[in-house]
């Protein structure tokens, strides 16, 4: 049987890697790195660094070029499904052509494989015989709350995890909303009465943290985001919106 390890690597700090993830990297014979293009070069480099630091030779690295999905496409769900099927074919070729029976392959997934990541869903579409295991990683959610020194949850209260696109369409649908994948600074849609804990490039040397009442810090976040994005060519940011006086 062929084996595939889906390993969460954290959000940019090499020290985010858990001992379990380091052991999983050491157990792999072949790694698949899907290169998303120049703009995300830093992200690919971290994967190479982690393999060099924790891989146990002899191992092989297989690289496949797959440009990032167009997140501005209006038919969002269809675009995601297309992209997922395309990824499934890449994984299928990797398992079929690059792994021998008894060998272990590994995919290094940004953050935690269970948080807004399509790897597991794409693997469900793969038509090849293989066993797989998932190694959890530090997600940008954990990185964000830790760096701001706040808890994700308030006592006995729920948290709504959502995307910038949905926040823009629906507004804040809970007292505590964790927002990811926001290319448009949709936090202004939350309205007054919210505190924001915002973080970009969490866990990396470029990390930026800003927090405060949304109406007071929104412009500062927009400015810092635009400047950093222009300088680096890409940005990943996450934020927690917390209603200051929640309903009971």
Site residues (CB under 6 A) for ligand SAM?
11-12, 110-112, 115-117, 139-140, 180-181, 199-203, 236-238
Query: Residue 128 or 183: which CB sits closer to ligand SAM?
Result: 183
Instruction: Give the three-class secondary structure for 2.
Output: coil
Query: Residue 99 or 221: which CB sits closer to ligand SAM?
Result: 221
Beta-strand (E) ranges in the chain? 3-8, 30-35, 60-65, 104-109, 131-135, 160-163, 176-180, 194-200, 208-213, 237-243
Query: Residue 128 or 146: which CB sits closer to ligand SAM?
Result: 146
Q: Where are the alpha helices (DSSP H) in 94-213?
A: 119-124, 140-148, 164-170
Residue pair 6/111 in contact (Cβ under 8 Å)? The answer is no
Query: What is the sign of the dihedral through the CA atoms of 96, 101, 106 and 112?
Result: positive
**Residue 90, H or E segment:** helix 76-93
Instruction: Kindly state the smallest distance separating residue 142's Cβ from ligand SAM, in Å.
Output: 8
The beta-carbon contacts of 158-163 under 8 Å, at least 24 apart in sequence, are 161/115, 163/116
Instruction: Kindly state the smallest distance separating residue 129's Cβ from ligand SAM, in Å.
Output: 27
Residue pair 21/7 in contact (Cβ under 8 Å)? The answer is yes
Instruction: Kindly state the smallest distance separating residue 181's Cβ from ligand SAM, in Å.
Output: 4
Instruction: Kindly state the smallest distance separating residue 201's Cβ from ligand SAM, in Å.
Output: 5
> What distance lies between CA 220 and its chain's CA centroid?
24
Query: Residue 67 or 246: which CB sits closer to ligand SAM?
Result: 67
Count of C-beta atoms within a 10 Å radius of residue 199? 24
Instruction: Kindly state the smallest distance separating residue 93's Cβ from ligand SAM, in Å.
Output: 22
Query: Residue 205 or 247: which CB sits closer to ligand SAM?
Result: 205
Query: Residue 99 or 143: which CB sits closer to ligand SAM?
Result: 143
Instruction: Kindly state the smallest distance separating residue 126's Cβ from ligand SAM, in Å.
Output: 20
Q: Which residue is nearest to ligand SAM (CB)?
A: 111
Between CA 189 and CA 39 the distance in angstroms is 29
Instruction: Kindly state the smallest distance separating residue 34's Cβ from ligand SAM, in Å.
Output: 13
Query: Residue 29 or 176: which CB sits closer to ligand SAM?
Result: 176
């Amino acid at each position: 049987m062929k084996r595939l390890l889906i390993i969460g690597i954290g959000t940019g700090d090499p020290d985010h890697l858990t001992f379990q993830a380091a052991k999983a990297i050491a157990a792999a014979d072949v790694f698949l790195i899907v290169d998303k293009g120049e703009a995300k070069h830093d992200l690919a480099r971290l994967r190479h660094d982690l393999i060099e630091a924790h891989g146990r030779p002899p191992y092989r690295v297989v690289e496949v070029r797959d440009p990032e999905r167009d997140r501005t496409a209006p038919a969002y769900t269809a675009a995601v499904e297309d992209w997922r099927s395309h990824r499934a074919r890449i994984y299928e070729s990797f398992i079929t052509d690059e792994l021998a029976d008894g060998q272990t392959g590994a995919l290094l997934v940004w953050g935690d494989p269970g948080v807004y990541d399509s790897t597991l869903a794409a693997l469900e579409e793969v038509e090849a015989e293989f066993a797989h295991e998932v190694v959890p990683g530090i997600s940008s959610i954990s990185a964000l709350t830790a760096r701001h020194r706040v808890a994700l949850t308030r006592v006995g209260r729920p948290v709504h995890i959502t995307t910038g696109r949905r926040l823009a369409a629906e507004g804040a649908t809970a007292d505590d909303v964790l927002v990811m994948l926001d290319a448009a600074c949709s936090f202004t849609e939350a309205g007054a009465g919210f505190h924001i804990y915002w973080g970009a490039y969490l866990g990396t040397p470029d990390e930026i943290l800003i927090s405060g009442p949304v109406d007071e810090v929104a412009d500062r976040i927009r400015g810092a985001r635009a400047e950093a994005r222009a300088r680096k060519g890409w940005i990943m940011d996450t934020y927690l919106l917390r209603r200051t006086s929640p309903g009971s």
